[in-house]
Structure 1
Amino acid sequence: MSGCIPHHRLQVCMICALFFVICQFVFLIVFLRNGVLEDTITGRLLLHRGTGKENRLFGWREFISHTHEQPGANYQYNLQLSDTVGAIRSLPRTRHESCDSKRTYNLPHSSRAKVSVVISFYNEARSMLLRTIISLVSRTPEDYLHELILIDDASQDVSLLEELQKLMEKMYATRGRLTFIFLRNLQRQGMIWSRNRGAEAASGHYLLFLDSHCEVNEDWLEPLLGRLSLNATLAVSPLLDHIDPATLSYRSGNDMVKGGFDWNLHFHWLRRELSAKEAPEQPFKSPAFSGGVLMISRDWFLKLRCFNPNLKIWGGESIELAIKLWLCGGQIEIVPCSRIGHIFRPRHAFDFPPQFNHESSTAHATYLHNSKIIADSWLDEYKNMFYVLKPAARQIPLFHTNQDEDLLRQLKLELRCHRFDWYLRHVSPELKAHFNELSAMGTLKNGYRCLHARRTDNVSQLEVILDSCYLNDITQWRLLRKSGQLSTATERCLGVERGSMPPRLTMTPCSRHQNKMKAQRWLRRGTHLVHTGTYLCLDNPLKNQLVLSPCRSLAASQSFQFALEMEKQT
């Protein structure tokens, strides 16, 4: 019987085995009740697969079912579709193939490159916010992602942050190195103030400011971190892919444009010109950021005194930081090998709290306030370009203190900041060129009234009259130095209808065709505007009417003053 187990010993073994199975079953039930096993499973499923089945396991549906009730249109994207897409989805690889096959990134050790991510949100849909968070955590190397700081700017969904915190604790129990910090403003402070609060609370080496309606693509961090490790005063932005607000489709962003702004201090895309040996996927310098997504050394950001704390709610903060960066020793780069999807909403998804006693909308008044701060702080003598285009900004109160002015002056001295002319020459020659191509601009005043292009009963047509200079939408004019055209901001030019007798004034699209351009060409003679095709002067003979008449040197009705003249008139 050698080699065989005795019968009584076999019974004992069977009893022990049965007891072991029962213990394991009891142990499993206890773990499930305490949520420990669930925590482990959901963390792994989320990070590595993220299918619809796994979404249900960690309570995605239950969390988004408590989304604050308001029409989907208020979010300015398709809420119903967002709720059905899932917590995370596969995204197309939009970056150039050389980013994968040819590039190596010389990254610092993770102990010297901890990344703190700051996400401020106000009335964001739960599914969209959660997708932003999950895509970030899932597609960021664990060793580098130090903490995620979420700031709820007094959203109407008062239970969101508490429930989000509970969900994050369940989902990421296995990621011991990742810290979540949840902050809620007791009253609405705006994104600018909230981002500064997040930066102060952060403890990582680098800050990533991320909007709450984004999706992070694969391998987004390495290209950015590789550039930052080469230059401590650099700020970088991924190339932003576009998420369609209606369909949520994800498509590649344009790597042939860079960020910039005009003299209204509105953000614009500018054409990117490649040098002879430059590839589109190479990092490139940009005058400004887009979309509010940027990464920067926390020490450098604090040395720059963060976003200007006097800016209100939202708007202009990226332009202000961009100008400050360039003038005070830093640089901005867009890195096409890093891709993050972003929803560019068709209009604001939130209201602006009343800030000032001003006739314009609260959104416009806030924009004027923030832009006025930028102009007064950084544009030096070129701030007149802003004021002639936005004269209403002069009436906006800033409530600056002497301490604010002293701090700005101290910052410029400490960092040896350049004057704005340096920015025009070295960073944004496009803005300088726009300045140089004008001989006069702004409102065009005759007596106490201004030349105004207003819509007729036919909404596609404009007529020119004299009207109050204090209208919110009073026309701002540009007299182009080279062509002599007198243009509005929408590129409608004042001209004369061909063959009309007597000559009749028209407002038509500005032409680049030589023959048509002749009908839109004007000469500046003192304060007169002389039409080159007829040699007649713009005249106001009666009430608000405008006509062409023979020029009379001392006629007050033919005297028109621009808000800003760039060259001495003959």
Structure 2
Amino acid sequence: MYRYIRVVLILFGISFTALFIQHHVELSEFRSEQKSKDVYYPTNSRDRGLQTTRQEFQEYFINVRLSDDIPVNRDIPDSRPDSCETPVPSQLTVSVIITFYREWPSILLRTIYSVAYMTQNLQQIILVDDDNDETVYGQVLNLIRKTFRDVVKVVSLRRRFGLIGARLEGVKHATGNVICFLDSHMEVNINWSIPLLNIIDENPNAVAMSQLDDINPSTFKYTFSKTYRTRYGFDWRLRFFETEFRKEQLKHGDLVLPHVGSALSLFGHRNSLGKTNVVCLDLCTDASRMNVWLCGGKLVHVACSRIGHITRSQPYLQNNRLDIEMHNYKRVADVWMDKFASYVDDNYPGMKSISVGGLSKQWRQRRRCKPFSWFLDNIWPELFRYKDHSSSTGSIMNTNGGRLCLDNQGHLFSSPLRITVKPCSNDTNTQLFGLTTDGRLRTNLQCMFVKKEVFDLVPYIQNCYEQPRDTFKFTKNGEIIHTSTGYCLTIHSYNIGFEMCRKDNHQKWSLLMIQI
């Protein structure tokens, strides 16, 4: 009996290996056939010239006519750091899921060509048509089916699902070991997939991401920096943004991230994907990917995997954008953020009255996911818990009569920026400051420090982990004193700095509670 089972397993293994080899031989034959630099011209496009009209640019936010004249399988420069070595071969296969809605046809084709040519261990490309107009996209979809034969599977949805919903529909058709999501306006670079698969080989619960290069939407110039590393984060609005890694983090080859934007490639092992309940359109927050960290995984930024991305505004906007955003943020906050959901509520006054249905935390409990406080302590400590770690919080207004408040200018980067004053606005993201229990003066993401410029002592903000650990005191008389110098924060018109204390109104400040 044992011998019989072993023979069956061996035969099954041989059959599976044969199918695997046959599939990749077909891919190799397909790639060898596509040698010319093909150009896709929509009907009558050659009569238009290359200058995109203002109306076309306002509708699609790209130079559509120039795109039509550029080869859809053009060469792009190798943007990998010089230190990248030949990646270690992987046995994992990848299903690439690309969803599109109102994407310009030649942009979409360039994405498909790029992925088909440049992806190693490619199992399939799943192209999800999110209820596009068939009279507009029927021609290009037929061309894709004909040109790419068994490489691309087109999934046409009969109603609009939105970005996340369409991606989940694509997952239903995936047969690869690993799933990757890409935007429909990207061009992948050389050897981009194997470094990501190597991360999954090491940790099946990891989510691996590429470094994005920039493709100009007007000129289609491909620009990059081999040394710059983008870090992604989010604030209490759950809005994602780009910032820099801290210096000590850059000592590591592949870097961990608190958050990732939707354009990036996301590799996840199929066995690690839980049942997902998502009800959102393209405005669904990517901050929900904090659940990767909370439930035993990690987000890894891989330097040797590079992808070009057209950065542009959305070519379509919903009239009820804010309502959709708040609905999605409410779901994320209620399920994952524990008591810190109130910080999100503070930024959206209308959110408290929103009902998102009977959300269950059972999935989180079954996976024994960590509390959100762990995420703030270990992954994203830059985000200020102003309700917990401060002795006083609010807008800091000078009492000289001009109603001017300290303002961080909405600065999100880790690099230094000079603090200014602006008319008080009751905005938590630009004018909320908190004096921490250990004497630091903080914004949502940075700390204040004092920098000497010639003869002046000037207040700046910077990442709290990369600047002098300056502390301050807020006196009963309204003075803000820099502890190490004993000087007071002083205002002259719209300029501020630290000067010798002299007890006048230019040095008196009051803390205003921000009205939520």
Is the shorter-chain TM-score for this pair beyond 0.5, marking a shared fold?
Answer: yes
Residues 480-499 of structure 1, C-alpha deviation per residue, up to 9 Å, x if partnerless?
A: 447776979999x9xxxxxx
When normalised by structure 2's length, the TM-score is 0.71
In structure 2, the CA distance between the partners of 1:382 and 1:415, relative to structure 1 (3 Å rule), is same
Q: Which residue of 1 aligns with 2:496?
A: none
In structure 2, the CA distance between the partners of 1:98 and 1:314, relative to structure 1 (3 Å rule), is same
> Any residues of structure 2 matched to 1:278-427 within 5 Å, and which?
278=251, 282-290=253-261, 291-301=263-273, 303=274, 305-306=275-276, 308-316=277-285, 318-321=286-289, 323-345=290-312, 347-354=313-320, 362=321, 364-388=322-346, 390-395=347-352, 397-401=354-358, 404-405=359-360, 409-427=361-379
In structure 2, the CA distance between the partners of 1:235 and 1:484, relative to structure 1 (3 Å rule), is closer
1:136 alignment partner AA: V
Residues 291-342 of structure 1, C-alpha deviation per residue, up to 9 Å, x if partnerless?
A: 34211112312x1x34x513343241x2202x10100011111111111111
Kindly state the Cα deviation for residue 167 of structure 1 after the two structures are TM-superposed. 0.8
Return the match for 1:268 from 235, 238, 241. 241
Q: Which residue of 1 aligns with 2:41?
A: 61
> Any residues of structure 2 matched to 1:87-236 within 5 Å, and which?
87-99=72-84, 102-108=85-91, 113-141=92-120, 144-155=121-132, 157-173=133-149, 176=150, 178-186=151-159, 188-236=160-208
In structure 2, the CA distance between the partners of 1:118 and 1:238, relative to structure 1 (3 Å rule), is same
Q: Which residue of 2 aligns with 1:81?
A: 66
Q: Is the 8 A contact 2:105 2:137 kept in 1?
A: no
Residues 140-189 of structure 1, C-alpha deviation per residue, up to 9 Å, x if partnerless?
A: 23xx322222222233x43344323321233234xx5x241322242x33
| Residues matched between the structures, number | 432
SS in 2 for 1:370: helix
Kindly state the Cα deviation for residue 440 of structure 1 after the two structures are TM-superposed. 4.1
1:399 alignment partner AA: V
1:320 alignment partner AA: S
SS in 1 for 2:41: helix
SS in 2 for 1:180: strand
Residues 366-417 of structure 1, C-alpha deviation per residue, up to 9 Å, x if partnerless?
A: 33332222222211122233333x042434523312xx22xxx211121110
SS in 1 for 2:103: coil
Instruction: Say yes or no: does 1:238 pair with 2:210.
Output: yes
Residues 84-121 of structure 1, C-alpha deviation per residue, up to 9 Å, x if partnerless?
A: 1121211111102332xx4441411xxxx332111111
Residues 5-54 of structure 1, C-alpha deviation per residue, up to 9 Å, x if partnerless?
A: xxxxxxxxxxxxxxxxxxxxxxxxxxxxxxxxxxx9x955763x342xxx
TM-align CA RMSD: 4.2
In structure 2, the CA distance between the partners of 1:439 and 1:246, relative to structure 1 (3 Å rule), is farther
Stretches of structure 2 that go unaligned for 5 or more consecutive residues are: 1-26, 398-402, 408-419, 461-471, 482-486, 491-503
When normalised by structure 1's length, the TM-score is 0.65
> Between the two proteins, what is the percent identity of the paired residues?
25
Q: Which residue of 2 aligns with 1:478?
A: 433
In structure 2, the CA distance between the partners of 1:221 and 1:90, relative to structure 1 (3 Å rule), is same
Q: Is the 8 A contact 1:151 1:185 kept in 2?
A: no
In structure 2, the CA distance between the partners of 1:473 and 1:278, relative to structure 1 (3 Å rule), is closer
Kindly state the Cα deviation for residue 479 of structure 1 after the two structures are TM-superposed. 2.8
